Structure 1
């Protein structure tokens, strides 16, 4: 069991180095934000086109098949299941909405005194109403239903007993499925082709103007870097503890529920202790090397410089937003 390799989502691919790896991290962050914001208030055609663009980008990146098959397979299956569940669920249009109070509560609370004219007039008899009689005439209803319709519009697309698919449910399922695929897979593709140090350095570079307002930008980015570096350590500790439990060949049936709970509680306690020890070791190593204040001891991992392909990618973001406002609106 290797947790570092069995969790394909969000892992950085060091080799092979593709053209998407060489693009500046700030430019890729701009594309990621664009993919996340453009589906808001967009039509279904634009949402489906985003899915197609992401699939085409994955193919053009020339990533190994084993990598993007693992990366895309789980997200695609989850999005398809969400699409089917939302499409088969009721759309909520026919839900009856009954008011809690009557429309004219004051009129109902006061009895109406009958008059002589109303008693003798046959039109005011509550049991005889020409309007209601004409509206509920079955011959009139059948004649209205048999009239030819001006268009072939149908709100209910599929109606087979329990399974009923309407235009509203299909549109809602398209929105939900494409939105989840776009958000998850675009973020995953960004993490796949961008190193964690590049991400944090790019965020620090973009947030550099906020230092004028005395905001702790460097401290925040340093904390983010340490947290990204600490995730593999957590997975390693979990992996070691699971392997230690498996090597002891514990008979879980004899232990029962209470005994199994005590064993896993002990494992969880040991995991927390190991993680605290690792965190203390990292803090001690930083103090020994003089990392007391991040403003005085900054490590430059990358020198940001926009090249030709970076400017082309930036111009592509502008064209992408123009296309969104021209063809993506409802």
Structure 2
């Protein structure tokens, strides 16, 4: 398994440059937060609409399938499993329908609301789908999909430097209260750049263990644990060595503090496409409150 290609963290798609790449990172961050917050207390149709909208955005942006395929496969499988399990799971609500009018009163009883949608109760098989369990299944599966997939699209179309530059601009008012915004953003930049190195070290050492064709059954549980403990120590040693090399490289380039070494971020400037994207985002939230509520 290639960890560097299967995880979206630290994986930035440089080519092709889509219109999502050209958007301001602050605008894209607003859309990302909207996809994370909009499903809260929303109707089932709105949650499903978010999934469709998110997939349409990635398709219209022209993001290559090779970049989305490593995440889409296991994400759809995991989301589908959550949906099936949640659909048949007990909803912890015991609803009993009671006739309020006498049967011989000559009044036709109309049942406008059906709570139990599907039920199998025969032998050892007891399956039931209720409206509540279906809503829970839709909520859990769509929430997992939108949160992970939106973050994947954001990281694929936004470089780590742009992410930190946008956050630095948004957090700049905190400097009035002596919050070290630049130091925090620099740490975040180094962390995002360091994640692929961590994955690379883990991947190389795990592959080196498997290529030796170790007979784990003959080693036993205790000796196998010793092998993986040695591998973990080697991973930690290599990562500390990489971090030390990065620190030396920064010192050689004269970086001590932001006061003596100016940190150059991306020059952020809102364009026409960014203004249009913010206008659509406002319409998105208007639609969310008007037609996307649970009781709308």
Whole-Å separation in 2 of the counterparts to 1:319 and 1:253: 61
Tell me if structure 1 keeps the 8 A contact 2:10–2:195: no
Tell me the alpha carbon deviations over residues 120-160 of structure 1, each in whole angstroms, 9 at most, x when there is no partner.
xxxxxxxxxxxxxxxxxxxxx9947x974223422111111
Work out whether residues 23 and 274 of structure 2, in 8 Å CA contact, stay in contact via their aligned partners in 1. Answer: yes
CA contact (8 A) 2:205 2:235 kept: yes
Indicate if the aligned counterparts of 2:8 and 2:156 stay in contact, CA closer than 8 A: no
1:77 Cα shift?
1.9
The 10-residue stretch of structure 1 (41-50 or 213-222) with the greater mean CA deviation from structure 2:
41-50
Does the 8 A contact of 1:207 with 1:217 survive in 2? yes
Are 1:215 and 2:179 an aligned pair?
yes
SS in 1 for 2:129: strand
Q: Give the Å deviation of 1:61.
A: 1.1
Residue in structure 1 matched with residue 88 of structure 2 by the alignment: 88
1:178 alignment counterpart:
142
User: What corresponds to 1:196 in structure 2?
Assistant: 160
Cα distance in 2, alignment partners of residues 243 and 158 from structure 1? 48
How much has 1:294 moved relative to structure 2? 2.2
Match of 1:3 in 2: 3
Distance in 2, Cα, partners of 1:190 & 1:313: 15
* Contact 1:200/1:225, CA 8 A, preserved across alignment: yes
TM-score using structure 1 length: 0.81
Residue 118 (structure 2) pairs with residue 154 (structure 1): no
Q: Which structure has more RCO (C-alpha within 8 Å, separation ≥ 6)?
A: 1
- Tell me, in whole angstroms, the C-alpha distance in 2 between the residues paired with 1:9 and 1:301: 21
| Mapped contact 2:183–2:258 kept (Cα < 8 A) | yes
Cα distance per residue 1:93-122 (max 9 Å; x no partner): 129xxxxxxxxxxxxxxxxxxxxxxxxxxx
Query: 1:3: how far off?
Result: 2.9
Is the contact made by 2:6 and 2:70 (CA closer than 8 Å) also made in structure 1? no
- The answer (yes or no) to whether the contact 1:27–1:314 under 8 Å persists in 2 is yes
* Cα offset, 1:215, TM superposition: 0.6
The CA RMSD over aligned residues, in Å, is 2.3
1:244 Cα deviation (Å)?
2.6
Q: 1:52 — aligned with what?
A: 52
Tell me which residue corresponds to 1:254.
Answer: 218
Residue 22 (structure 1) aligned with residue 22 (structure 2): yes
Q: Tell me, yes or no, if the aligned pair for 2:10 and 2:196 is still in contact at 8 Å.
A: no
Unmatched runs of 5 consecutive residues or more in structure 2:
96-100
What is the DSSP-based 3-state SS (H/G/I as helix, E as strand, rest coil) of the residue aligned with 2:81?
Answer: helix
CA contact 1:237–1:274 (8 Å) conserved in 2: yes
Cα distance change on mapping 1:10 and 1:163 into 2, 3 Å: farther
- Distance of 1:30 and 1:6 partners within structure 2: 26
Aligned-pair CA distance for 1:321: 1.1
Tell me the equivalent position of 1:242: 206
* CA 220–9 in structure 1, closer or farther in 2 if over 3 Å, else same: closer
SS of alignment partner, residue 264 of structure 2: coil
Structure 1 equivalent of residue 76 of structure 2: 76
How far apart, in 2, do the equivalents of 1:328 and 1:48 lie?
11
- Aligned residue among 261, 264, 285 for 1:321: 285
Whichever of the two has the greater Rg, that structure is: 1
Note the C-alpha offset of 1:327. 0.9
The answer for the alignment partner of 2:130 in structure 1 is: 166
Structure 1 runs (4+) deviating above 6 angstroms are none
Report how many aligned residue pairs link the two structures: 286
CA–CA distance in 2 between the matches of 1:74 and 1:246? 24
**Structure-1 separation of matches of 2:15 and 2:180:** 35
